[in-house]
Every structure is written in structure tokens, then in C-alpha cells.
A and B are shown apart, each in its own frame.
Chain A
């Protein structure tokens, strides 16, 4: 059989290191993204790592799938430098403004194009929207079993799966069979570094670009129009507080803070 066909969902996101500098266009109430470099979503590196480890063990194929503007193809190349055989970019103006379910619809259509798959691995959450919806919703739309919050994964050669998922103060061991869609948390593994060989090899790897037409998705079911959720205006929440400087040496400053603790009624 020669291993599994694993699809890894990867999303280029504005670099989380820059979120301090996110600007909103006040008139339009939309994000001004200029100057924010795009990087591979952090938890997606863990999804890719898990796929590569399975590929090393069992052989098979790893395909990266991303719904993203073609201009982010560079980030996909970086992902391919880490590993994977090819990338499929789902790009169309019609996809802009998709809510999580419309995003999942496009991704499910993209995955259907690279059929047959055995396993879909996703990050658990994106750094920008961060809904934690997409893995479960892709699973539902593909009609296969799915899990979010996965922190440990074992897949046997016969396709039986044991996954550990995080719950409050503990975990659950879940069993099932491929095919599956899994959202992986960063505890699941430590992603490898990209090697120079990897960078060189990535230059040769194919990146296919597919639009709404090729995917055969109904335009009225994707993008802003096909989204059940509509966004209002964006703003920057302010965490600003009065910022009073407490003066003096540690003893003096501590005395002041004790006064505040007393005023708040928490000195017991």
C-alpha cells in the first residue's frame, strides 16, 4: 500500500510577533495589513511535523493545502522547505471574507481534489482569527471522524488511530479509524528545523493553484456572500490603564502596594 496520503492544512498568517503593531483603518474599520510579514501559522508547523514523522515511518505522500491569496505562495514554499511533496493553493477573489464554515467548505473542496486521503492534519488554532473551528468543520463537511485539541497521536499501519485530547486538568484517550481530520495543539511534538537541503529541494516541489472554477464550488456558498457570519467594524481594544509610577526603594514601593491591597480588601 505504501503508507498514507496525509493532507496538512496550512495557513499563512501575519507574523504574530507584529500584533502589537496591528493598525486598523479607522474610516473603513478594516485591518491595515501593510508591513506585516506573512509566516506559517505556528500550530500548523506541528501538524506538518506530525505528518512528516508518519511519512518517515510508513512512506506515503504529504500534500499541503491552503486557502490563501496567491501572493502568499512564498510562505507555502517555506513550508515545503520543512517537508511535504507538493502544495495546493486555493485562491480566488470569491473566497475573500469567508467565515470559518465557508473556509472549511473551500478546504474540503480542495481536499476532495487531492483524493483519496487517509488523514487530514491541521493546527488547532490560527494566530489571527483563532476560532478553533476549521478542523472540526472540515471533518463534518468531509463526513469523517474528527478531533480538536489533540496533544498526542499514534497511527498504526492498519489505519487505527489513538489520540489524546486535552481537556481541563487532564486528557481523554480516543480511538478510531482513518480517515480522520485532527487539529493538533503545540504540545503534540517539536517541529524540526528547516535544513538547507530542504530549502533547495523545495524549489523543485510543485505548487498547484486552484480557483473556484477548478474546485467546482458554488460561489454563493463561499466568501463573504456564502458566510453565515458577518463582521462589523474592527477596532483596537485598549488595555490602557492609569499607569501610575510607584516611587521609592523596594521597601517604600512595597508599602504603597500594601496600601492598595488593603484598599481593595484582599489583605484577609
Chain B
């Protein structure tokens, strides 16, 4: 059993655990690397390292280095692909115990969300879940902002005595860093040695990735959100028309997902879904539950359209339109076409 360590000196390394699939780094891995680099800078310089587990993943290790990681620990081995929490957990726990970083950050995608608590248990250390902010104090303490109660409660948590201090971060919380074109060192690990004596019990027999329908929510400048108030699959196409007009993505609340109006789980926004940060969020037929609004709180501008003048969503919106979306959305599409058409000739109405 690998054990973690007690807090000791300052200035230790900041690590991120990178996630990859299908020959690509998960965007969240680059986002947390950006936060790690910023914290290292703010602390007056600390080593930033990434850990990458996979098969034939050398190219991605170089990519992490070029994003600014000083060092990349690469566990490149057939046993590291596909992901399983026991094999990955064992390798990570041993690497961490050997190198004693001060801080380890995980992306809280589906795999990282499971891997982080697995490793924290093995190392007997603290883990902040789905952090919305991460800051190092002068004393080297990682302050982790976390939300609970569907986004209604915020608290800062910290891990005073055990090391490393660990945190997970959902996709979309931190902006990706600019490409640094740096050259870090890639350290190739002996996976067989790291797995020695470990019992690997799980077999991942099939990995299925469906190409998601529609424009991805991640990175979209405009997100059109629909809620239960849309009332049916047919009306839902109005939102898709609007999004197309703005080259935006369509997201939804949980009731809209449950009704089957949207292409799937990957379109849900909120505590159990995605966090988006578009320039503009346009919400229709959404009541404004914190479970949903926490996922759009970083949007530049929030416009909400609701028939109920007293809908709570208006409190957390910049612009409030009391209207039936069935009347408003066609009017908005006409207005957008007109605005875009100015100088380019009037396009035919829908």
C-alpha cells in the first residue's frame, strides 16, 4: 500500500493528471494545466508537471510540454489503455508517492471524477470536488472553492496537513492557456514496475464513443438553452433554428433532457451537466433553478425569455423578456436575418 505524506516544506511541484482519448488530449487537461502554470507563476516559480497515462501517447506528452509543462511523466503501455480506475489509480498513487508533489489537479470528466477519489483514498489525502476556483496562499495552501446544494452554497476547503493537496475541476471552469511553444522534459515511466504487486480486477472490454450531434457547447460563443417550458420536440426545432442563425450551440435543462427533446446527456447544462461560458446565453422556458444557472453563471450576457413575469430566472439574467418563446423566437430570427442582411440584401424569411 502506498501512503501519502504529511505537509512539509514549501515550493513543491504542481501536477496535473492529463486525460486523453482517441489520440487527443481532453480539453479540461489543458485548462487545468493553464491554472497550474498561473499558480506556479503567482507563487514565484514552481515546477509544473503533467502525468499522462496511455498507449502510444508520446505525441500528446510533447503537446503537454509545449503547452508549458516543465516535465511530463509518461506511462506509455498497453495496460494503460483503455482507462480503468484500478490500473490507472495504482500507477498514479505510486508515482505521486515517489515524487511527492505539493498539489495534484485532476479534470473532473467521467474518468477523472472517479480516478481522483481513488487516488486520494490510496494516499490518504484530501480532495476538493469539482472546484470552481483554485488559489495558492503565500504559505502554499491550496484554497479550493467548491459548491454544494445544487450551486446554492459555496465554501472554500483546504487540506492543512496531508500532501499532496488534490482537487478536481470540471471542464469549462478555467480558460485554456495560450500555446507556449515551450520544450519540457518527457520522463518515460516503467509501467510494469509501477504495477508490480497490484491486483488489476477490471476489464474494459468495449469503449463506445458516439460522435455528438450538433455544435458542441464547449467553446460556443452563443448558447441557446431550452427548458421544460418549450413543451415538445416540434417546438424544440425553433431553438435549433435560432442557434443555427447564430452559429451557436443548443443546451438544455434536466426536464427538457428527460422529455427526450434533445440529442442527449451531453447537451445538459448545470450541476450534473456542463459548465458553459459563452459570450451570450439565451434561455427559453427555463425557470432559473440554481441547478441549471450554476452552469451558465460565467456567461458574458444572459437573456431570458419566460411567460411568467415572476419567474426566478429573471433575477439571474441581464435582459428579461416576458413573452411566449413561440412568438419571440421567430421574431428574433427575423431580426437577426435582417441585421445580417443589411448591406448584403434581404434573405428570404423562414
Q: Which residues of A are interface residues toward B (Cβ below 8 A)?
A: 14, 16, 19-20, 22, 24, 31, 99-101, 104, 125, 127-134, 136-137, 139-141, 144-149, 165-177, 187, 227-237, 239-246, 250-251, 253-258, 260-262, 264-268
Contact = CB atoms under 8 A, between A and B. Distances in A.
Interface string B90-127: 00000000000000000001110110111011101111
B148 A176 contact: no
5 contacts: A19-B152, A175-B205, A246-B319, A254-B332, A268-B247
B263 to A, nearest CB: 10
Interface string B300-341: 111100000000101111111111000110111011101110
Interface stretch (B40-48, B49-57, B79-87): B79-87
A243 B202 contact: no
Tell me what chain A mostly uses at the interface: helix, strand, loop, or mixed. Answer: mixed
A175 B202 contact: yes
Interface of B: 21, 26, 82-86, 89, 109-111, 113-114, 116-118, 120-122, 124-130, 143, 147-162, 201-212, 221-222, 246-248, 265-266, 271-272, 279-280, 282, 289-291, 293-294, 297, 300-303, 312, 314-323, 327-328, 330-332, 334-336, 338-340
Nearest to A171: B208
B129 A131 contact: yes
A22 B149 contact: yes
A232 B340 contact: no
Q: Which residue among B117, B160, B334 has the maximum number of chain A CB atoms within 10 Å of its CB?
A: B117
Contact of B118 (A140, A172, A176): A140
Nearest to A29: B155
Contact of B158 (A125, A149, A229): A229
A260 B301 contact: yes
Contacts of A229: 126-128, 157-159
7 closest pairs, A vs B, by CB? Answer: A228-B126, A140-B121, A131-B129, A232-B156, A133-B117, A239-B316, A170-B209
B149 A19 contact: yes
Contacts of A251: 331, 334-335
B155 A233 contact: yes
Contact of A130 (B129, B203, B246): B129
A257 B155 contact: no
Contact of A245 (B147, B202, B316, B320): B320
Given A100-B127, A264-B301, A268-B340, A170 B205 contact: no
